[in-house]
Amino acid sequence: MKISYHGHSVVQINTNGKTILIDPFITGNSLTDLKAEEVHADVIILTHGHNDHVGDTVAIAKRCRSLVVANADLTTYLSWQGVETHGMNIGGAYHFDFGTVKLTQAFHGSGYATHNNEIIYCGMPTGVLFSSEGKTIYHAGDTGLFSDMKLIGERHPIDVAFLPIGDNFTMGPEDAAYAAKLLQAKTVVPIHYNTFPPIKQDPNRFIELLEEKNGKVLNPGEAIEI
C-alpha cells in the first residue's frame, strides 16, 4: 500500500488497484503539488464539510466517476449535485472492495460555506479509519484532543496516523503529540499546518515532541509504503 501526502489534509492511498483521496482540497491550496483537473480518484473520503476539506470533490467525482464516502448528511448534500455517494455515520464501518472504512468521532465543526453567503449544515465531523492489505491508516480529520483516542488505538492497531498540528482550529503540536501517545500508531505524520497564517507551525518541532520518536514529516508529493 502506497500513501502520499499532498499539503493541508490531502492524503492519497493506492491499494488494491484503486486510488483513494482523503479531503481533496486542491484549488486554493498553495501547498499542494496536485492539479484538480488532472488528479484521478476512484474513491474520495471526506472527514467533514468545511470548504478546505471538501475542496474539489464535486469536480473530481464527476470527471472520474468517483464514489464519495462521508457522513450521511454531507453525502446527501453532495448527492444533490450529481455525485455518487455512500453515507455513513460515527462508529459505523463498511467493507468495500477496495478496503474497510470506519468513521470515528472528531471534535470540530462541519458547515459548508456557499457563494451565496449561506452555511450548509454537513453533519458531525469525523475521523477515518481505513484498512486494507492488513494495514490500518487513521486520518483524524480536524479535531481537538480527546481521551477516546486511546480507545481508538486499542481497538484498531494503527500503522500510520495523520494528525492535525496547526492549532487555532485543531490540536496544536503539544496536544497532537499527546494524541499520538494515546493512539500508539507505528508512524505519525503531521497534517493541517502552514496553509494559512493562523495555522503556521514547524512540523519538525512536533516530531521532536513525540515520546516514541515515531514521527515523519512528509513534504507535498512524498510517499511512504507500508
* Nearest-angstrom CA–CA distance, 124 and 116: 23
**Given this model, what pLDDT does residue 115 score?**
87
Q: What is the pLDDT of residues 168-217, one digit of tens each?
A: 999 999 999 999 999 999 999 999 999 999 999 999 999 999 999 999 99
CA distance 84 to 197: 35
Residue 200's identity, in one-letter code, is K
Q: Supply the pTM of this predicted model.
A: 0.97
Model confidence pLDDT, tens digit, residues 88-128: 999 999 999 999 999 999 999 999 898 889 999 999 999 99
In this structure, whether the domain defined by 2-217 belongs to CATH 3.60.15.10 is answered with yes
Find out whether 118 and 102 touch, Cβ atoms under 8 Å.
Answer: no
52 pLDDT above the threshold of 90: yes
Q: For 75-97, how does the pLDDT look when each residue is reduced to its tens digit (9 = 90+)?
A: 999 999 999 999 999 999 999 99
Say what the pLDDT of residue 53 is: 98
Work out the average pLDDT over 135-160. 98
Nearest Cα neighbor of 224 from 15, 26, 8 is: 15
Q: Which three cell numbers stand for residue 142?
A: 480536524
Q: What is the amino acid identity at position 59?
A: A
